[in-house]
Amino acid sequence: MEKILVAEDDMHINTMLRELLEQNGYVVSSAYSGTEALLLLSQDKFALVLLDLMLPGKTGEEVLQEIRTTQNIPIIVLTAKADKETTVNLLHMGADDYLAKPFDNGELLARIAVQLRRSASADSASAANTLTFKDITFDLDGHDAYISGVKVGLSKREFELLRLMATHPQKVFTKNNLYESVWGDEFFGTDNTINMHISRLRAKLNAANPNQEYIKTVWGVGFKMDE
């Protein structure tokens, strides 16, 4: 069940929103000030935030800006200010949607559902473009790898060799396997090219993290990832 944070200082509206959301299968946490909202966001993971603008402590605009420095969570702003300038500014600050008070409950639920679907779709797309092995994260679109957040700086061939082996970490790849998969050509038994690229790849990985082994030599067969 998705967890939603309701940041609204009016106790009546906050309670109404909590009851509405819980009746529709959501888990709800309530905040009554901007400061409390940010505290809850730092302590728990939420699928979406309903954010009132007129909050004590920190305003809704300040909360919105602080959230956007660290999180990409969907935010729907609830506002009594329905003028065009305010709503445009909210979208520029990072709000995903807004709803003017008083609002229709059915419309609010529909907008929440839309934002949650978009967020789930974006997460799936991001996961599809990401591969990890140990402390290596692969940027499949950018054709590079990061170790503990630091870019390794790989050539195209080095990246493809590492990606191929990390995708199948239990498989032992012969030099024939690697050459035909990465170079896309027939292997004629000259292993200098493979050895050179594996050596450079190992050196770069070792420079990024000298305390970890990544590529293991299986003598007489080939190479595999060191699990």
Distance of CA 69 to the CA centre of its chain: 14
The architecture of the domain spanning 3-127 is 3-Layer(aba) Sandwich (3.40)
Alpha helices in the chain (DSSP H): 11-23, 34-43, 60-68, 84-93, 105-128, 156-167, 175-182, 192-208
pLDDT of residue 128 exceeding 60: no
Q: Return the CATH class of domain 130-225.
A: mainly alpha
Which tens digits make up the pLDDT trace of 193-219? 888 999 999 999 999 899 999 999 999
Q: What does pTM read for this prediction?
A: 0.57
Phi, psi of 216, rounded to the nearest 5 degrees: -110, 135
pLDDT of residue 126 exceeding 60: no
The average pLDDT across 137-158 equals 85
Helix (H, G, I), strand (E, B) or coil at 144: strand
Position 33 scores a pLDDT of 95
Q: In this structure, are residues 25 and 1 in contact, taking their beta carbons and an 8 Å threshold?
A: yes
How much is the mean pLDDT over the chain? 87
User: Do 130-225 and 3-127 fall under one CATH topology?
Assistant: no
Task: List the chain domain ranges.
Answer: 3-127, 130-225
